[in-house]
Amino acid sequence: MSDDPAHLDPRDELPEHLSAMRAFAISLTRNVAAADDLVQDTIVKAWTNIDKFEPGTNMRAWLFTILRNTFFSERRKRKREVSDPDGVHTARLYHRPAHDAHLAFSDFAAAFNQLTPEHREVLILVGALGFSYEEAASTIGVAIGTVKSRTNRARARLCELLDLKEGEDPMSGSDDAMMAVMGRSKVQVA
Amino acid sequence: MAHDEGRPNQCGPNVKALIDQNLRRVYQEALEEEIPERFKLLLEELRRKAEGQK
């Protein structure tokens, strides 16, 4: 690292991204303990490979790439070693304490938990964080078209799990699944 | 477990917006979790090691 004060050590930026890394890790794993291990591995890899980071580029996206590559490669390894990795995983799913007011959102979260990590990944990047398809494609390391089709399939799968159909008016929705999506909207419906 | 990929996307635009709103909440809730001390300690340790190598 340069001692020139004009060239700050990019590793000094790492603490700023801890929350985002952890939130992305929780989104992928749905399991806080697994997410923390993943963040730990990501920090160590980022630290030791900091020379591969191009200053001036998006560090969060760079860290997300390390994190998701670590997650999916571990997952592939585990799948080869363990006969029922998903069963083990499902038993320790991430759940926040349920409050009555959050009941509807918990239905949405339960549907989200049922998605594959690949679907959760694109939905969080594109749907929650507003990454462009191009940014998401570069973070994940796949073609833009793959991100588009995967995102569409992931949304369709969520609609299916929540029993939402094209043409239904969510504003007049009274069934439980619709209320789940309406959930704890901070936006007041006029 | 293959999803029927030939079927059109079932989400209408209103539903899509509501899904995205809930996705933001999923992420936001995870973001608001307190960061465990272990990460700050890990960074300090890495920093100490790096400085020891100078």
pTM of the entire predicted model: 0.77
Identify which of B7, B14, B26 has the shortest CB distance to residue A112.
Answer: B26
Could you tell me which chain A residue has the CA closest to the CA of B36?
A36
What digits encode the pLDDT tens for the residues A29-63?
999 999 999 999 999 999 999 999 999 899 999 99
From CA A171, how far away is CA A182, in angstroms rounded? 8
Instruction: Convert A90-121 to b/e letters by CB count within 10 Å (16 or more is b).
Output: eeeebeeeeeeebebbbbbbebbbebeebbbb
In a domain, B3, yes or no: no
pLDDT at position B16 is 87
Q: Which of B3, B15, B40 sits opposite A170 (nearest CB)?
A: B15
The number of residues in chain B equals 54
What does the pLDDT profile of chain A (190 residues) look like in tens digits? 444 544 678 999 999 999 999 999 999 999 999 999 999 999 999 999 999 999 989 999 999 999 999 999 999 988 877 655 455 444 445 555 444 433 478 889 999 999 999 999 999 999 999 999 999 999 999 999 999 999 999 999 998 888 776 555 444 444 444 455 554 444 444 3
Q: Select from 1.10.10.10, 1.20.1440.60, 3.40.50.920, 1.10.1740.10 the CATH code of A9-94.
A: 1.10.1740.10
Structural domain includes residue B37: yes
Q: Tell me, yes or no, whether B8 lies in a domain.
A: no
CATH 3.30.750.24 is held by the domain A99-183: no
**Domain ranges within chain A, ordered by starting residue:** 9-94, 99-183
How many domains would you assign to chain B? 1
What is the ipTM, given to two decimal places?
A: 0.81
Q: Enumerate residues 1 to 54 of chain B having a beta carbon within 8 A of any beta carbon in chain A.
A: 3, 5, 7-12, 14-16, 18-31, 33, 35-36, 38-40, 42-43, 46-47, 50
Among A112, A120, A130, A117, residue whose Cα is nearest residue A183:
A112
Q: Do A27 and B39 touch (CB under 8 A)?
A: no
Residue B5 belongs to a domain? no
Is B26 in contact with A109 (CB distance < 8 Å)?
yes
Question: Residue B20: which domain range?
Answer: 13-52
CA distance A82 to chain B (A): 19
| Rounded alpha-carbon distances, angstroms, from residue A105 to A15, A39, A60, A101 | 30, 26, 27, 9
pLDDT, tens digit (0-9, with 9 covering 90-100), for B10-37: 567 788 888 999 999 999 999 998 999 9
- The angle at the Cα of B23, spanning A21 to A15, to the nearest 5 degrees, equals 15
Quick one: residue A115, left, alpha or beta (phi over 0 = left, psi -120 to 50 = alpha)? beta
The reply to whether B1 falls in a domain is no
B2 lies in some domain: no
Q: Using DSSP, how many helices (H) and how many strands (E) does chain B show?
A: 2, 0
Measure the CA–CA gap between B50 and B10, rounded to whole angstroms. 53
